């Protein structure tokens, strides 16, 4: 197979090779490879100059605004205690609000959180009798705090000791409206499914958002751990109803002119799905709420040059996602179908070419990760699944095609039980 492929490839002209890889060279190469190489080159040059000058970057946490962590959940009584424990004593000017969004009695978060509320003055436990959804719960909790910074943390997540300190330092700049922390898998080695997700989180969230921030196109703060300027949240009128509320709020904060920053060393651990079926359903929900619903419908005006609020950075946030995820996904599907129908004897060689090319891009990702990681050995262990990454990418591409098709024609995100029906029925449908 390898010899046949090399023989086939060697008989292609440079023009044919360029045409074959044109899509990925125009999209994936700048996005994944060149941007990372540029970032590492700049940072390495800076670090080398500091070393030559005998200077060192001493990390100082000298900014200490008041913060409020909102833990909103439904039927997550068995997880909320761990999240609270990770927050206690982590920051001096800290409030914690636990909001139970109508959980069943046997999974009540109140029962697990109430002892902490009695023991600590800075912990408030709230409960609602009827479920309204995550956005509704966080909007309900927001008036109970006057903290400068509001932080949302999923109940099944836990934070590193210095995570809060890492995030709040960026708010020294009054133009910063939100900070995206880094989410890692808590259960990376349960099986292949969790291992691939752990690897994906490393290059998509850890290094991926570092790159996006450098180019001013960071467009999301993960709901699992997001830091928000309360003033900015209030100006947006809070979280909108529906799945993808973290992406939507970040885009609205960008629309107001605030900067979105990335705190790569503010670590948050979360549980990832352990079964492929669970992962498929999770990503369907994520994708349905992202590109089509949020960027192509709700916030399409942000990419419109005729609008007074137009900014090129907002344009490229939407352009990148729409091009790479939506358009490129369908192009791959159409091209694959055409190739199999017209040149089936070439299909295997073409597929292997893309496999090798993808591995090269992923290898650049690993090198970038190695440079920035503070736990290189653990992260490199996660990267051992790199040879399987192209197959995992195909899984994600297939998921996106299905989710976008469902959303375009049937608006499935508007029927997602992530939000109770009685709340969806009274929500404005843009």
Instruction: Encode pLDDT of 315-336 as tens digits.
Output: 888 888 888 888 888 988 998 8
243 occurs within a structural domain: yes
236 occurs within a structural domain: yes
User: Cα(194)–Cα(375) distance, rounded to whole angstroms?
Assistant: 19
195 occurs within a structural domain: yes
**Residue in this structure with the two tokens 């095609």, named with its chain if needed:** 401
79 occurs within a structural domain: yes
Instruction: Encode pLDDT of 273-288 as tens digits.
Output: 999 999 999 999 999 9
Tell me, what CATH number does 238's domain have?
A: 3.90.550.10
| pLDDT score for 339 | 83
23 occurs within a structural domain: no
Q: What is the count of structural domains for the chain?
A: 1
| pLDDT score for 145 | 97
Q: How confident is the model at residue 25 (pLDDT cuts 50, 70, 90)?
A: low
Q: Report the run of H or E that residue 263 belongs to, with start and end.
A: strand 259-270
DSSP three-state, residue 187 = coil
| pLDDT score for 404 | 96
Q: What DSSP letter does each residue of 61-115 carry, written as one string? A: ------EEEEEEESS-HHHHHHHHHHHTTS-SSEEEEEEEES--GGG-HHHHHHH
177 occurs within a structural domain: yes
Range of the domain at 267: 67-302
Res. 405: pLDDT tops 60: yes
> How is residue 135 written in tokens?
């956005």
User: Cα(329)–Cα(323) distance, rounded to whole angstroms?
Assistant: 9
Q: Report the run of H or E that residue 182 belongs to, with start and end.
A: strand 176-185
Count of alpha carbons within 13 Å of 6, Cβ hemisphere only? 3
Q: How confident is the model at residue 151 (pLDDT cuts 50, 70, 90)?
A: very high
401 occurs within a structural domain: no
Is pLDDT larger for residue 56 or for residue 310? 310
User: Cα(87)–Cα(93) distance, rounded to whole angstroms?
Assistant: 12
Sheet holding 157-159, edge to edge: 123-128, 94-101, 67-73, 149-153, 225-229, 176-185, 259-270, 157-159
| pLDDT score for 57 | 66
Q: Whole-model pTM above 0.95?
A: no
User: Cα(363)–Cα(225) distance, rounded to whole angstroms?
Assistant: 28
Res. 69: pLDDT tops 70: yes
30 occurs within a structural domain: no
DSSP 8-state class, residue 197? H
Q: Please state whether beta strands 123-128 and 94-101 pair in parallel, antiparallel, or not at all (unpaired).
A: parallel
State the average pLDDT over residues 228-250.
Answer: 93
Query: Other C-beta atoms within 10 Å of 166: how many?
Result: 22
């Amino acid at each position: 197979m390898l010899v046949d492929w090399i023989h086939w490839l060697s008989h292609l002209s440079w023009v044919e090779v360029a045409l074959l890889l044109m899509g990925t060279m125009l999209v994936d190469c700048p996005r994944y490879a060149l941007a990372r190489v540029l970032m590492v080159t700049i940072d390495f040059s800076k670090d080398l100059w500091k070393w030559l000058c005998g200077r060192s970057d001493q990390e100082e946490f000298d900014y200490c605004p008041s913060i409020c962590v909102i833990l909103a959940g439904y039927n997550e009584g068995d997880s909320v205690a761990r999240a609270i424990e990770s927050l206690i004593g982590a920051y001096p000017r800290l409030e914690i609000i636990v909001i139970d969004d109508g959980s069943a009695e046997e999974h009540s978060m109140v029962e697990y959180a109430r002892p902490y509320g009695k023991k600590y003055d800075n912990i408030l436990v709230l409960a609602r009798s009827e479920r309204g959804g995550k956005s509704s719960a966080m909007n309900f909790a927001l008036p109970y705090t006057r903290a400068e910074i509001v932080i949302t943390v999923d109940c099944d997540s836990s934070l590193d000791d210095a995570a809060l300190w890492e995030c709040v330092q960026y708010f020294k700049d009054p133009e910063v409206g939100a900070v995206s922390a880094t989410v890692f898998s808590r259960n990376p080695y349960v099986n292949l499914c969790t291992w691939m997700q752990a690897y994906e989180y490393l290059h998509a969230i850890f290094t991926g958002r570092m790159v996006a921030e450098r180019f001013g196109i960071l467009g999301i703060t993960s709901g699992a751990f997001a830091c928000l300027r309360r003033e900015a949240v209030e100006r947006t009128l809070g979280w909108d109803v529906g799945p993808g509320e973290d992406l939507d709020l970040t885009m609205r904060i960008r629309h107001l002119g605030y900067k979105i920053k990335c705190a790569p060393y503010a670590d948050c651990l979360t549980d990832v799905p352990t079964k492929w079926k669970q992962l498929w359903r999770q990503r369907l929900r994520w994708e349905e709420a992202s590109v089509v619903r949020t960027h192509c419908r709700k916030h399409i005006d942000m990419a419109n040059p005729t609008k007074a609020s137009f900014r090129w950075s907002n344009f490229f946030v939407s352009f990148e996602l729409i091009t790479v995820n939506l358009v490129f996904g369908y192009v791959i599907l159409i091209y694959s179908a055409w190739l199999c129908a017209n040149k089936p004897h070439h299909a295997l060689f073409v597929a292997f070419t893309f496999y090798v090319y993808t591995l090269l891009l992923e290898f650049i990702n690993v090198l970038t990760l190695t440079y920035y990681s503070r736990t290189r050995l653990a992260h490199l262990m996660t990267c051992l699944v790199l040879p399987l990454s192209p197959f995992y990418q195909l899984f994600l591409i297939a998921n996106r095609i299905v989710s976008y098709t469902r959303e375009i024609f049937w608006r499935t995100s508007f029927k997602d039980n992530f939000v109770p029906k009685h709340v969806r029925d009274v929500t404005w449908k843009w």
